[in-house]
Structure 1
Amino acid sequence: MIKNYHVLKGVASGLELDDDDSPHIEIRIEADGVSYRIAVNARSTVPPHDLLFAHVVGFEAPILAGLAGLPMGLTDLRGDHPELAIDYVRGGLIERDDLQVAPFQLSGPRNDLREFIEPLIEDSLDDDTMHFYAFGERWGPEADKKDAYFDFLPGNGIHDIHMNQGSEGSFASDNGPNQDGALLIHDTVSNDWIAIFLAFQTQNWNTDAATGHPLSGAQAGQGRGEGTRRPQPVLASSVRILAALINPINEPDGSERESVTVINRSDMDVDLDGWQLADAADRRQGLSGRLAAGDILTVMLAGGEGLPQLRNKGGDILLYAPSGLVADRVSYGRSETANEGWTTLF
Structure 2
Amino acid sequence: MLKNYRVLKGTASALALDDDNDPHIEIRIEANGVSYRIALNVRSKESPHDLLYANIVDFKHPALTEALETLPMGLTDIRKDRPELAIDYVRGGLIEREDMNVAPFQLSGPKNDLRDFIEPIVQEGIADSDVHFYAFGEAWGPENNKPDQYFDFEPGNGIHDIHMNQGDGGSFKATNGPNQDGALLVHFNDTDEWAAIFLCFQSQNWNTDAATGHPVSDSRGGQGRGEGTRRPQPVVASSLRIVAALINPVNGEGGTEAETVTIINRSDMEASLEGWKLEDENGRTQTLSGSLSAGELRTIALDAAAGGPQLANRGGDIILRNADGAVADRVGYGKSETANEGWTTIF
Please point out which of 224, 234, 237 is paired with 2:242. Answer: 234
Aligned to 1:168: 169
Answer yes or no: is the 8 Å Cα contact 1:136–1:182 preserved in 2: yes
Root mean square deviation of aligned Cα:
2.8
1:80 offset after TM fit, Å? 0.3
Which amino acid in 1 is paired with 2:184?
L
Change (3 A) 1:171 1:189: same
Structure 1 gaps of 5+ residues are 225-231, 245-258, 278-285, 289-322, 327-346
Please point out which of 264, 273, 289 is paired with 1:264. Answer: 273
1:219 offset after TM fit, Å? 1.1
Confirm or deny that 1:65 pairs with 2:66. yes
Which residues in structure 2 correspond to 1:1-346 (within 5 Å)? 1-61=1-61, 62-215=63-216, 217-222=217-222, 233-234=241-242, 260-265=269-274, 266=276, 270=290, 276-277=294-295
1:123 offset after TM fit, Å? 1.7
1:156 offset after TM fit, Å? 0.3
The superposition leaves residues 6-51 of structure 1 with CA deviations (integer Å, 9 ceiling, x where unpaired) of 0000000000000111000000000011000000001001111000
Answer yes or no: is the 8 Å Cα contact 1:234–1:325 preserved in 2: no
The superposition leaves residues 255-304 of structure 1 with CA deviations (integer Å, 9 ceiling, x where unpaired) of xxxx73421225555585xx653xxxxxxxx799xxxxxxxxxxxxxxxx
Which amino acid in 1 is paired with 2:33?
G
SS at match of 1:13: strand
- Structure with the higher fraction of residues in helix conformation: 2
User: Distance between the aligned counterparts of 1:239 and 1:195, measured in 2?
Assistant: 24
User: Distance between the aligned counterparts of 2:3 and 2:20, measured in 1?
Assistant: 25
SS at match of 1:54: strand
The superposition leaves residues 223-254 of structure 1 with CA deviations (integer Å, 9 ceiling, x where unpaired) of 89xxxxxxx9328877757xx9xxxxxxxxxx
Change (3 A) 1:96 1:287: closer
Change (3 A) 1:219 1:188: same
SS at match of 1:172: helix
SS at match of 1:123: helix
Which amino acid in 1 is paired with 2:51?
L
1:181 offset after TM fit, Å? 0.1
Give identity over the alignment, percent.
59
1:109 offset after TM fit, Å? 1.5
More off after superposition, 106-115 vs 14-23: 106-115
User: Distance between the aligned counterparts of 1:324 and 1:222, measured in 2?
Assistant: 12
User: Distance between the aligned counterparts of 1:262 and 1:18, measured in 2?
Assistant: 36
Structure 2 gaps of 5+ residues are 225-239, 244-260, 277-286, 299-343
Q: Which consecutive aligned stretches of 4+ in structure 1 deviate over 6 angstroms post-superposition?
A: 235-239, 323-326
User: Distance between the aligned counterparts of 1:221 and 1:214, measured in 2?
Assistant: 10
1:120 offset after TM fit, Å? 1.2
User: Distance between the aligned counterparts of 2:53 and 2:212, measured in 1?
Assistant: 24
SS at match of 2:195: strand
Answer yes or no: is the 8 Å Cα contact 1:240–1:264 preserved in 2: no
Aligned to 2:256: none
Higher Rg: 2
Change (3 A) 1:110 1:237: farther
SS at match of 1:86: coil
Answer yes or no: is the 8 Å Cα contact 1:38–1:134 preserved in 2: yes
User: Distance between the aligned counterparts of 1:276 and 1:73, measured in 2?
Assistant: 43
Aligned to 2:339: none
Using the size of structure 1 for normalisation, the TM-score is 0.69
Answer yes or no: is the 8 Å Cα contact 1:147–1:154 preserved in 2: yes
Change (3 A) 1:223 1:170: farther
User: Distance between the aligned counterparts of 2:345 and 2:48, measured in 1?
Assistant: 30
Change (3 A) 1:4 1:111: same
Answer yes or no: is the 8 Å Cα contact 1:239–1:264 preserved in 2: no
Provide the aligned length of Structure 1 versus Structure 2: 259
